């Protein structure tokens, strides 16, 4: 049913060959950098299942906690949305310029989390500021201790 190849490799303790960068043609140093960034993100935001995100976002909406900053995550189109209570939500813009508009909204006025939507595709935040609405994908969250 499975063939003898996987069984022979298991018995001989020969590991499966692994593609270095899944065919992306990246340099080894780039793969190492991406692995380091991924480990850092996983360490900071690893407990961010949709249920954890939903609970924290519900709390932020209920308390009407404003957004105080947007920090670069050193990855294009990804940033850390800093709330006044110390909560940070790792977000990704859905379109080019989304994070820039939100950053300008924070600089020129008040930005609030109006709503969020959780589904099989992930969690989407709806931010309001100065008569505008923007939607960002939530990737993870850290909460103050």
Q: Would you list the DSSP string of 83-138?
A: ETTS-EEEEEESSTTHHHHHHHHHHHS-EEEEEEEEETTEEEEEEEETTEEEEEEE
The reported pLDDT for the residue numbered 16 is: 42
Q: Say if residue 16 is in the same domain as residue 51.
A: no
**Residue 51, burial from CB neighbour count under 10 angstroms (0-12, 13-18, 19+):** exposed
Q: Which residues of the chain have pLDDT under 70?
A: 1-23, 39, 41-48, 145
Q: How many domains does the chain have?
A: 2
Distances (CA, A) of 121 to 13, 29, 138: 38, 31, 11
- Looking at residue 69, its pLDDT comes to 94
**How far does CA 59 lie from the centroid of its chain?**
19
The answer to whether residues 72 and 132 belong to one domain is: yes
Q: Are residues 84 and 20 in the same domain?
A: no
Here the tokens at position 84 are 């006044």
Residues 97 and 29 in one domain: no
Indicate whether 78 and 63 sit together in one domain: yes
Which domain covers residue 34, as residue numbers?
Answer: 4-42
Residues 12 and 50 in one domain: no
Helix, strand or coil, per DSSP, at residue 81:
strand
pLDDT at position 94 is 84
């Amino acid at each position: 049913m499975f063939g003898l190849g996987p069984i022979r490799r298991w018995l001989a303790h020969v590991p499966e060959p692994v593609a270095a960068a899944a065919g992306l043609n990246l340099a080894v140093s780039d793969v190492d950098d991406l692995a380091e960034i991924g480990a850092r993100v996983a360490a900071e935001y690893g407990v961010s299942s949709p249920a954890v995100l939903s609970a924290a976002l519900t709390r932020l909406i209920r308390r009407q906690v404003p957004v105080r900053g947007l920090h670069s995550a050193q990855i294009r189109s990804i940033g850390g949305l800093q709330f006044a209570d110390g909560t940070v939500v790792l977000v990704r813009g859905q379109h080019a310029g989304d994070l820039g508009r939100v950053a300008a909204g924070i600089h020129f006025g008040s930005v609030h989390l109006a709503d969020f939507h959780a589904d099989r595709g992930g969690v989407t935040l709806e931010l309001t500021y100065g008569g505008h609405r923007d939607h960002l994908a939530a990737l993870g969250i850290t909460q103050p201790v």
